[in-house]
């Protein structure tokens, strides 16, 4: 089994910070049930980029990047769903 390098540790730590940041935004959107200040294009762009990065990460066998981008993809899908639900509720 391959040991975790300093680079891998930095990657995992960075992925954790990014997911916590985006996760907090999605959680705030869910709690507030509002869409103000949130662009729908944020989630559309994030979904598109995360799909590409996830595929790329798999191809180059970068497991830190694969995991973080797959998790970002899931977060973006939830965020988009909440955005649409909140917009429909408000409209």
pLDDT tens-place string over residues 25-83: 888 888 888 777 777 788 888 889 999 999 999 999 998 889 999 999 999 899 889 88
CATH code linked to domain 6-90: 1.20.1280.290
- Helix, strand, coil share (%) of the chain residues, nearest 5: 80, 0, 20
pTM of the model: 0.76
pLDDT of residue 1: 64
Quote the Cα angle for 90-32-12, to 5°. Answer: 125
- Which tokens in the block code for residue 19? 């997911």
Nearest partner of 64 among 16, 31, 23, 25, judged by Cα:
16
Both tokens of 31, joined, read: 């709690």
């Amino acid at each position: 089994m391959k040991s975790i390098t300093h680079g891998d540790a930095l990657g995992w730590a960075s992925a954790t910070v990014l997911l916590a940041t985006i996760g907090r935004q999605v959680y705030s959107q869910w709690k507030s049930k509002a869409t103000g200040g949130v662009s729908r294009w944020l989630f559309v762009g994030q979904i598109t980029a995360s799909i590409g990065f996830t595929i790329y990460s798999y191809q180059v066998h970068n497991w830190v990047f694969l995991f973080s981008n797959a998790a970002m993809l899931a977060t973006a899908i939830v965020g988009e769903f909440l955005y649409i639900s909140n917009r429909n509720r408000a409209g």
